[in-house]
Each structure stands twice: as structure tokens, then as C-alpha cells.
């Protein structure tokens, strides 16, 4: 699936072209990230976000082996990772959902343990993320790539507002070019 990445000549949707005008200007797009189930637990050595460590640009919560071990014991299944066929299914599904809902998909990268998407939408970022997660889960199950009872995604994810064209361009670049 070709990824739509902004060029220097591409303009992003302005608030005046939004389908549902708002008296308060909204973001140009959202940078949405969500992980697969059990692949990055609270207390992980890479750091995590929680109620006390969630401000943009601030450090993540530090490593906590006790918390990580506790979270691991609470898991109802092994961690869920995406195989290549699963990744292709998720990418195709996300592109289709965005097109059906008239949400410009500016960048997308489906990894083995997480998804990054830059999406312009008038709905809340939580709504957009939940729709993307649920649709991709249904597609994986419908194609028998995930068991009916499998937990595919971790709870919630990251939903960052992108207010400027520079922020959108940086998020698109990170999504398409800055993944190992």
C-alpha cells in the first residue's frame, strides 16, 4: 500500500474546509500510536507513560521490575505480535477505514508490535484510534489471522494533536522514515 506522505507542495486541511465547523480551531491531524497486547508493559526498561508521567516531552516512567513482573502475571494470554500477513491486513484495513470515513491518512507504519498513523479527522483522536483498532481486529479475525478470543491490542494508546504543518510533517517523517 503506498503511504501518503506530505510533500513541500501539499497543503493540509484547514479548519475552514472541515465538514463540521467548530468555533474553536482544531488540530490539523492526529499522531496516533497503539501497541499490540503485552509487548510493552508498565515498568518496562524502555520506560512507560502513566498518570504521573504523561506530559509531552517529559521523561517516561522509569524501569520498575516489580511493576513489570506484576503486569506480566496479570496477562490473560502471551504477547501478541503481528506477522507479515497480519501487518499487511492491518495496513489495508486502516487505509480502507480512513478512506471510507473521509479521514486523510497522511502516513502509516504497521510494525510487529505497534502502529503509527497520522490521520486528519474531525472526530476526537480517541474515537479515531478506537475505530482503527476495532476495524483491524475484526479484519484479522475475519481472515482467521487472529483467534476469536485473542486480545490483539493493548488498552488505549497515544493520541497527539498536531497543530501546525511542521508538526504534521515531522510526525509523517517519523512514521515513514524513522522506524528501525
Q: Are 118 and 162 in contact (CB under 8 A)?
A: yes
Task: Choose between 156 and 167: higher pLDDT.
Answer: 167
The torsion angles phi and psi of 48, rounded to 5 degrees, stand at: -140, 165
CA-to-CA distance for 166 and 172, rounded, in angstroms?
10
pLDDT of residue 56: 54
Res 69: pLDDT: 60
Other beta carbons within 10 Å of 164? 11
Bridge partners of 36? 153
Query: For residue 47, is pLDDT > 60?
Result: no
Whether the per-residue pLDDT at 105 is higher than 50: the answer is yes
Q: Where are the domains of the chain?
A: 25-40+81-177
Residues 6+ apart with CB under 8 A from 13: 28, 104, 120
Please say whether the structural domain 25-40+81-177 has been given the CATH code 3.30.70.1290: yes
**Kind plus residue range of the DSSP H or E element containing 19:** none
pLDDT of 70 higher than 50: yes
Q: What is the mean pLDDT of residues 39-44?
A: 60
Between 158 and 99, residue with greater pLDDT:
99
Candidate from 15-19, 97-101, 117-121 with smallest mean pLDDT: 15-19
Contacts of 105 (CB under 8 A, 6+ apart): 4, 94, 95, 98, 99, 117, 118, 119
Q: Which of 18-32, 41-55, 60-74, 109-123 has the highest mean pLDDT?
A: 109-123
pLDDT at 73 (0 to 100): 60
Collapse the DSSP code of 176 into the 3-class scheme (helix H, G, I; strand E, B; otherwise coil) and give the result.
helix
Percentage of the chain with pLDDT > 90? Answer: 54
Of the given ranges (34-48, 101-115, 117-131), which has the lowest mean pLDDT? 34-48
What does the pLDDT read at residue 97? 97
Rounded to the nearest 5 percent, the helix, strand and coil shares of the chain are 35, 15, 50
pTM over 0.85: no
DSSP codes, 108-156: EEE-SSEEEEEE--SS-HHHHHHHHHHHHHHHHHHTTSS-TT---B-S-
Residue 125 pLDDT: 94
Tell me, what's the pLDDT at 48?
59
Amino acid at each position: 500500500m503506498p503511504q501518503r506522505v506530505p510533500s513541500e507542495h501539499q497543503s493540509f486541511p484547514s479548519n475552514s474546509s472541515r465538514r463540521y465547523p467548530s468555533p474553536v480551531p482544531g488540530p490539523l491531524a492526529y499522531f496516533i500510536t497503539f501497541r499490540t497486547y503485552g509487548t510493552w508493559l508498565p515498568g518496562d526498561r524502555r520506560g512507560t507513560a502513566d498518570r504521573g508521567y504523561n506530559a509531552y516531552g517529559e521523561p517516561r516512567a522509569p524501569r520498575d521490575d516489580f511493576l513489570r513482573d506484576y503486569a506480566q502475571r496479570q496477562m490473560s494470554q502471551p504477547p501478541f505480535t503481528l506477522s507479515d500477513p497480519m501487518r499487511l491486513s492491518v495496513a489495508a484495513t486502516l487505509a480502507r477505514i480512513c478512506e471510507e470515513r473521509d479521514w486523510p491518512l497522511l502516513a502509516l507504519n504497521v510494525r510487529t508490535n505497534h502502529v503509527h498513523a497520522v490521520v486528519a479527522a474531525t472526530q476526537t483522536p480517541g474515537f479515531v484510534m478506537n475505530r482503527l483498532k476495532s476495524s483491524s481486529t475484526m479484519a484479522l479475525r475475519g481472515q482467521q489471522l487472529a483467534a476469536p478470543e485473542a486480545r490483539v491490542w493493548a488498552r488505549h494508546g497515544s493520541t497527539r494533536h498536531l497543530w501546525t504543518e511542521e508538526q504534521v510533517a515531522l510526525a509523517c517523517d517519523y512514521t515513514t522514515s524513522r522506524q528501525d
